[in-house]
Amino acid sequence: EAGVTQFPSHSVIEKGQTVTLRCDPISGHDNLYWYRRVMGKEIKFLLHFVKESKQDESGMPNNRFLAERTGGTYSTLKVQPAELEDSGVYFCASSQRTPPDTQYFGPGTRLTVL
Amino acid sequence: AQSVTQPDIHITVSEGASLELRCNYSYGATPYLFWYVQSPGQGLQLLLKYFSGDTLVQGIKGFEAEFKRSQSSFNLRKPSVHWSDAAEYFCAVGAWGNKLVFGAGTILRVKS
């Protein structure tokens, strides 16, 4: 069974540019989560999808971040325009059942904003 | 609000020595708890979890953790550390809606 995959693994962009991160969850997992770890800080929750619906987006830092999950399969996280403080590692996770359930994490996307 | 404290940012142990990584949580309801590990260049891998039942849980790679409600702790242990255990370890508590709240992580170094 394939795990959670994320693309790209690394992205380096200039301040003000746009970046789109993609996450493919484990097949059959309705729950998809985005987390972020800024350098030296804890891993922080961003948002939670159940199928294509946003269940909880309380962790999204501001309106420069837009997450979508069309068709309830893969998800994208767009940052527009990117700022220096957006640099960090963005993790995606998925789980099969309603809570509580184990979340399986992808390898992360390291975003560097110059 | 939920929170997780991992008081040790770095720990160094000798190969073959025992290991204990500390984790304390704050959560108003019955918690469900996780330990994840991140090896260099890798994603987060689940080591073990506690949802209910036996408070001593076994995980992969010879790790175990004990849930102590009275101390709000979920410490991770391994009787004999291998060089390949060098990594960063994260304790997490499952909060409302299943979002995870993580501790700051503990970096484990293993010396030969």
The neighbour count for residue B90, using CB atoms within 10 Å, is 25
Measured between CA atoms, the residue of chain B closest to residue A106 is B43
Please answer yes or no on whether B43 and A95 come within 8 Å at the CB atom: no
Handedness of CA B24, B21, A31, A66 (dihedral sign): positive
Spell out the per-residue pLDDT of chain A, length 114, in tens: 689 999 999 999 999 999 999 999 999 999 999 999 998 789 999 999 999 999 999 999 999 999 999 888 999 999 999 999 999 999 999 998 877 789 999 999 999 999
Please answer yes or no on whether B99 and A43 come within 8 Å at the CB atom: no
B16 to chain A, closest Cα gap in Å: 29
A79 to chain B, closest Cα gap in Å: 21
Please answer yes or no on whether A104 and B46 come within 8 Å at the CB atom: yes
A45 contact residues in B (CB cutoff 8 A): 99-101
